[in-house]
């Protein structure tokens, strides 16, 4: 039944060369009832309105998944125009073209939009007080999507890790093999989101949306998505060393001892109650997500 229903549905993935885009490409063969197209910037430049419009007109997708993002958080502080062009203005281009095509959009935002703390996991209605250029650009992108009136699923996620690209897990593995001791911030809290889990959750939502009319209205909303639990960067680094058997001592330091151009959120622990209720999704614990990511890296020889 699902295969028949989804047989003609077409999915365009933008930002296909990044961590998340490559994860969707890896998953694609498992969804034979979907027809995917993967566009990197060399094919479709999301900052060029004409390029975006042409790609969507040509492929005529039912869903556009925007995996493209400017994620150099510190560099953004001196590269504001480029950051906003990718994370905000491009959202306007994509939304306009997606709406014109009568398609739907999946977009990824960030825990950075919150920058608030009341002692409890952040909910989608928690105050948004973005600090720094990256955080501001991500929230602006969300606003432009909503103002466009396009049907859009926006997922706010945190601490993205993967076997692809550059991320905290891969950095810790490299440094853990090179150094005897590392200092890691211990007063910023959240959970690492494994791209395989995130991409799988998106595909699950698309299937539910297409096969269950009751789910259709739930698509056009904003949700948090990350693993369960609470951990600091320091604790995460220690567990990476432990699971990989690396003889590297990890020492805790406060954020004040590791100043960066961009302000990092102290609290990135997000409630997933809303997305679980809407789509009956299971969200794994951060430890299970980390284990899977490390196993994937081991298989890749990284």
Catalytic residue positions, numbered:
134
Task: Tell me the DSSP string of 121-182.
Answer: -B-TTS-----SHHHHHHHHHHHHHHHHT-EEEEEEE-SEE-SSSS-HHHHHHHHHHH-SEE
Rounded Cα distance between 98 and 95, Å, is 5
| DSSP structure class, residue 36 | E
Pairing state of beta strands 231-232 and 9-14? unpaired
Enter the tokens of residue 243: 């699971």
Helix (H, G, I), strand (E, B) or coil at 228: strand
Nearest CA among 53, 147, 39, 155 for reference residue 107: 155
β-sheet bridge partners, residue 122: 270
Task: List, in order, residues 6 or more apart from 76 with CB less than 8 Å away.
Answer: 70, 82, 83, 132, 133, 134, 137, 262
């Amino acid at each position: 039944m699902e295969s028949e229903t989804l047989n003609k549905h077409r999915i365009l993935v933008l930002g296909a060369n990044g961590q998340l885009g490559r994860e969707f490409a890896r998953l694609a063969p498992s969804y034979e009832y979907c027809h995917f197209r993967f566009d990197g910037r060399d094919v479709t430049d999301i900052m060029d309105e004409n390029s975006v419009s042409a790609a969507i007109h040509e492929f005529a997708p039912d869903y556009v998944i925007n995996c493209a993002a400017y994620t150099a958080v510190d560099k953004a502080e001196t590269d504001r125009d480029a950051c906003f062009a990718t994370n905000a203005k491009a959202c306007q281009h994509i939304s306009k073209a997606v709406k014109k095509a009568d398609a739907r959009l999946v977009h990824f935002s960030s825990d950075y939009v919150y920058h608030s703390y009341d002692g409890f996991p952040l909910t989608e209605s928690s105050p948004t007080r973005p600090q720094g250029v990256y955080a501001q650009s991500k929230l602006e992108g969300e606003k432009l999507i909503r103002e466009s009136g396009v049907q859009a699923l926006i997922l706010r996620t945190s601490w993205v890790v993967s076997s692809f690209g550059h991320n905290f897990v891969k950095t810790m593995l490299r440094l853990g093999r090179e150094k005897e001791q590392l200092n890691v911030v211990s007063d910023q809290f959240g959970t690492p989101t494994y791209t395989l889990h995130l991409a799988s959750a998106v595909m699950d939502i698309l299937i539910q949306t297409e096969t269950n009319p009751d789910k259709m209205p739930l698509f056009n909303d904003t949700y948090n998505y990350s693993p369960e639990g609470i951990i600091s960067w320091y604790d995460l680094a220690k567990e990476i060393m432990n699971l990989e058997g690396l003889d590297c001592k990890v020492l805790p330091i406060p954020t004040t001892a590791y100043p960066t151009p961009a302000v990092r959120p102290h609290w990135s622990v997000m409630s997933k109650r809303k997305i679980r209720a809407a789509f009956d999704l299971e969200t794994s614990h951060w430890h299970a997500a980390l284990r899977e990511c490390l196993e994937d890296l081991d298989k890749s020889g990284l």
